[in-house]
Structure 1
């Protein structure tokens, strides 16, 4: 099984992964191929810790997919040495092609079109700590990003209510989500993400009046967030901020994903 898009999963897959978050399990066997483009300080920290806690060896392969070598050749040569790949790669299409070519599980640790592990973590937190997802209204604030695309995919899998607020020029008819140009009258959670390059025109930063109009929902800003850009309110000054400790769940969910894709 691969995890390149959240649409690769079924609702039962998501439930099974979340069920492993609090369930102790045996150590896993094998070596992980680990390739990580960019900083990603939170995701890098928690994945490495997850490998260690699960007893997995890991070998870093810098810029695994940055070569001109065909992905079929990379997979053919490397698959005998590795039990699983965890790859952060901006070129989503090349990552997806490598996953198709490999006989091993491949986890997207972030690409230009998705951030499935981050969104599975945040959704798990919302479901457990704020409101069951099947009864929740989630508002995405701002232009579409890789994180937001993963939210669209998860909403299609699980069937919860998702609204995205952004300027009309950023509405995307290919995404199965309700787009709005202004704040809805109610939301349980508002999620922001860093604006894509070039999307500043027409983009509206989230401020205190917007949050008040929505009934003072929980605020889950996807880090790293920039004050004065996507956010005009300091999360630390907002009572509904989920807090820094919310991201500690990354470790537990990433371990659960690894256990689900690579059974002992």
Structure 2
């Protein structure tokens, strides 16, 4: 069967699909015979490889280290540096190229928290810079909130295949998220997506039940609190455009809340 060559647009679309699926390895320069049976390695070689495996940090130790580093950050810039130096999140060793902490106004009245970095964010080192981020920016601008947000995520390294971060991965990063909240002291918090809402609010409720309902986020230490609004993730809106109406209602509720507090 003859196969027609892909044009440039189709090729770019196909590559984007594989990249978003987590396939980010290059092809070899020389062909490899995959049918060739490789003899099993010698026992000595196996023992050597086993000994070289890096141990996974203990969850309790990692959480203690995260709390120590977060508490030592006196500014959001220092917090970003602390996150970059943190070795306790398993995601850091799963193919992420760099930590992705924040973008936006460090004195903003609104803190926006998403789920985790995607492929584009991993490449550029900032959250919400891909297609979903562009949609978020447009919605905020239309609501009169441009320049009034500080954006971060519940985890700071890209999960393999852009999957949803696990509760354990979010838990070990939570001290940094809470420290960002304490340093910024926003007037309101916008939670994007189910994973972010469940992590911050400590609930198992679905996002369709939570969205549009104002809650309160209060830290156990430091007497820091703010009203919190869960809403739909922009990536979901790209897949389900009909849901944009609900998300827009939430964004307008956020804008009204901010205006009422000024």
TM-score (normalised: structure 2): 0.31
Greater Cα radius of gyration, structure 1 or 2: 2
Query: Which of the pair is proportionally richer in helix?
Result: 2
Bigger relative CO (Cα 8 Å, ≥ 6 apart): 1
Query: Which of the pair is proportionally richer in strand?
Result: 1
